[in-house]
Amino acid sequence: QKEVEQDPGPLSVPEGAIVSLNCTYSNSAFQYFMWYRQYSRKGPELLMYTYSSGNKEDGRFTAQVDKSSKYISLFIRDSQPSDSATYLCAMRGTNAGKSTFGDGTTLTVKP
């Protein structure tokens, strides 16, 4: 069983929709939780970074972490065609730069 499981998608939504992207994990040592966005033929770029449980908001994006359920989510409000990309969740413990990634969810936002 993988340490990080990500909803596989693909996901296709109309412009303006609210998008929910989700990951579950099994390693209780994970404390740092990230979401990366990867456009086609590009490397991933960090979108959101949270520590421990709680919510973090940045513009149209909200990252949510529930450590008791080992579940993290990324919400995108008022989705735009420019949000079309693959979204990767990632997480790590305290002692290294070794992040464990989910497989990614490909999102398409249709105008």
Partner 1 sequence: DVKVTQSSRYLVKRTGEKVFLECVQDMDHENMFWYRQDPGLGLRLIYFSYDVKMKEKGDIPEGYSVSREKKERFSLILESASTNQTSMYLCASSSRVGAVGEKLFFGSGTQLSVL
Interface contacts to partner 1, rule CB under 8 A: 4, 6, 32, 34, 36, 41-46, 49, 51, 88, 90, 94-99, 101-104
Query: Which residue, 82 or 94, is less far from partner 1 as judged by CB?
Result: 94
Rounded CA-CA distance 45/62 in Å is 16
Shortest gap between Cβ of 46 and partner 1 (angstroms)?
5
Compare residues 23 and 79 and give the one whose CB is closer to partner 1.
23
> Smallest distance from the beta carbon of 67 to partner 1, in angstroms?
16
What pairing do the DSSP bridges indicate for beta strands 105-110 and 11-14? Answer: parallel
Bridge partners of 91? Answer: 33, 100
Q: Which is nearer to partner 1, 17 or 61 (CB)?
A: 61
**Residue 34 Cβ, how far from partner 1 at the closest point, in Å?**
8
| Burial readout 16-51 (b: 16 or more C-beta within 10 A, e: otherwise) | ebebebbbbbeeeebeebbbbbbeeeeebeebbebe
